[in-house]
Amino acid sequence: MSSAEERKKEYYYNKAKEEGYRSRAAYKLKQIQNKFYVIKRNNVVVDLGAAPGGWTQVASEYVGKKGKVVSVDKQAISPFDLPNVEVLRMDMRDERLPAVLLSLTGGLADVVLSDLAGNVTGNWSLDADRQNYLVQLALETCHRLLKNDGTFVTKVFRGPTIQELDEEIKPWFEKIRRFRPPATRKKSAEEFYICTGYKGNVEEA
């Protein structure tokens, strides 16, 4: 890692500690929000792959007291002292997940966030395939959970299967934009898709 990259990593790491966020990734969501305004006051937000909870903290700020954030991960997430946050420990592959989430949200969500990530091996192609599989799992959750005209924000890895993933996502949304937040490390293959205008089940539309 170059000295510039190391400084960047340390900057966001230290900033998170100073400002009380659980991860440096919190600033990626802040930068996404500042550019695209994906989360609005009073929204219901589901945060997939939420541990340790940096994105949940940021989403909680944006939805306000009357909004709600449901934070999901198969890893344990330390409780939040936030009245508008619910925490759920559950695996994305569990078929019961959408029903459990709906019981917690009280209805369809306005926004689904996914910062899901697997273990990085260093094999660029393999890591991209694994990440894009997680995107597909998150998209399946959207089909059960996201309101029509809702928003889906997901992390993807650039790789040989990215075009296939694009083709899978595009029919479901009015608009898809790609964005690499400034907080992303230069060597990382990750970027985020900002998918807006969810169309619901297009086969029944």
- Residues carrying an active site annotation: 155
Q: How far is CA 65 from CA 43, 53, 60, 89, 91, in A?
A: 10, 18, 8, 23, 28
Using the Cα atoms of residue 174, residue 180, residue 184 and residue 185 in order, give the sign of their dihedral: positive
Rounded CA-CA distance 88/90 in Å is 6
Torsion angles phi and psi, residue 46, rounded to 5: -110, 125
Cβ-Cβ contacts under 8 Å for 146 (sequence gap 6 or more): 108, 109, 111, 112, 152, 198
Given 3-state DSSP classes, what are the helix, strand and coil percentages for the chain, each rounded to the nearest 5?
40, 25, 35
